[in-house]
Structure 1
Amino acid sequence: MYDVVQIAGSVLILAAFVAALGGRLKQSSYAYLATNAIGSAALTVTAVIGREWGFILLEGVWALVSIYSIVRKATGQSVAAAH
C-alpha cells in the first residue's frame, strides 16, 4: 500500500505539471493546485512514515504552498503563476 500511495502521489503531481506545460491547465487553476496539494500531501505522509527528512521538507512545503494558494484563490486574492 505504501508504494501505491507514493506512485499515485507522484503521478498526480507529474500529470498536473505535464498538463500545465502542454497548456491544458493554468498553474493558478483549482485543478492544478488541488492536484498538487493532494499528490504532495500523500508523498509527505509516506515520507514521514519512512523518516525521509529531505523528502518531508520538499513535499511538505509543496503541499502547504498549494493549499495556501487554494485559500488565496478562494478568497479572491491573486495566485502567482508562470506565464
Structure 2
Amino acid sequence: MDSAFDIYSIIGFVGTACIIGAYAYLTYVDEPNPFILHGTNLAGAALLTISLLVHTNWPSLVLEGFWAAIAIFGLVKALRRSRPAKPETPS
C-alpha cells in the first residue's frame, strides 16, 4: 500500500466509524431513532466522500453517493412522520 496516511485518511476513518456505529445502533436498539440512524449515516457518507475525493476510489465514491441519498431519503421520511397531521377543514 503506497497511499499516504494523512488528514483525509483520518477523516475517512471517522466516516467509517460513523457508518459502522449507525449499523451497530440499528442492530442493538429495539426502536432506533431514525434521526440518529440516518443522520449518522449521512455524516459518515459525507466524511468518506471528502476522503475519497482526495484518495479517489470510484466504486467507493459511487457507493457513498447512494449511501448519502438513502440517508437523506430516510431523514425526509422521518421528518414527514414527525410532523403533526393538519386537521381537515370542514367544507
C-alpha distance in 2 between matches for 1:37 and 1:25: 19
Per the alignment, residue 26 of structure 2 pairs with 20
Moved more, 5-14 or 46-55: 46-55
Structure 1 unmatched ranges of 5 or more: 78-83
Q: Could you tell me the percent identity over the aligned residues?
A: 24
- Cα distance change, pair 75–47 in 1 and its aligned pair in 2 (3 A): same
Give aligned pairs, total: 76
For 2:16, the aligned partner's letter is: S
C-alpha distance in 1 between matches for 2:67 and 2:21: 15
In the TM superposition, what is the alpha-carbon distance from 1:72 to its structure 2 partner? 2.1
Point out 4+ residue stretches in structure 1 off by more than 4 angstroms.
Answer: none
C-alpha distance in 1 between matches for 2:30 and 2:76: 22
- TM-score after normalising by structure 1: 0.79
From 3, 8, 11, the equivalent of 1:2 is 8
Structure 2 unmatched ranges of 5 or more: 1-6, 83-91
Partner deviation per Cα, 1:5-26 (whole Å, 9 max, x = no partner): 0111011111111121112662
For 1:71, the aligned partner's letter is: V
For 1:69, the aligned partner's letter is: G
Q: Which is greater in Rg?
A: 2
Give the RMSD, CA atoms, in angstroms: 1.9
For 1:13, the aligned partner's letter is: I
C-alpha distance in 1 between matches for 2:78 and 2:24: 22
